[in-house]
Amino acid sequence: MDKNNTDIYVQLLKDRGLRVTPQRLQILKYLNIHKNHPDVTTIFTALRKENPALSKTTIYNTLEALAEHGLVQVLTITPTENRFDAGDRMHHHFLCKHCNKIYDIEIECPHLNRMLEGEFKVDEVHGYFKGSCPSCLKENAKNDHIQNKNIKGLKKDTSKC
């Protein structure tokens, strides 16, 4: 449960028959501590500080291996780059199209049972919302007061609950 303790990550890898390497431990630990859904470049830039020899290719290779074994999730919520999340617990996500931040959304979902009339074999379930986050809405309201300049695509929501 101690996210800073390397031993648990060693065990997670061993349990899955994956070799234990410093890079895998590094990346696994990073994702479990930083729950802000980083992209490859963000992870790379951060981890390179403690390990200057780290290669970006390793980040790609490692994330692919970890994802294949259910240790990380790949979020395809952005139109451009993949974002990553530790663990395999399904939960919903909200992407703010202004600041590009991804928020965890904890709501009930009847689709979690991962079955679709038995015809498809479902490995992953993703629930994505996109729009404007509270912080950007607030920022926009402030600017509106000063100047009549709206954030692109930011209009009043007229849907009723």
Partner DNA sequence: TACCTAAGTTGAAATGATTACAAATCGGGT
Partner DNA sequence: ACCCGATTTGTAATCATTTCAACTTAGGTA
Nearest distance from C-beta of residue 61 to DNA, angstroms: 5
Of 159, 161, 98, nearest to 134 by C-alpha is 98
Among 37, 83, 93, 98, binds Zn ion (CB under 5 A): 98
Cα–Cα distance, 61 to 48 (Å, whole number): 16
Radius of gyration (C-alpha) of the chain in whole angstroms: 19
Segment interacting with a second copy (CB under 8 A) among 1-9, 18-26, 49-57, 114-122: 114-122
Segment interacting with a second copy (CB under 8 A) among 8-16, 21-29, 44-52, 72-80: 72-80
What SS3 class is residue 103? strand
Question: What does each C-alpha distance from 82 to 15, 51, 91, 99 come to in angstroms?
Answer: 26, 23, 17, 16
Residue 123 lies near a second copy (rule: CB under 8 A): yes
Among 30, 58, 66, 85, binds Mn ion (CB under 5 A): 85
How many amino acids of this chain bind Mn ion (CB under 5 A)? 2
**Which residues make up the interface to Mn ion (CB under 5 A)?**
85, 104
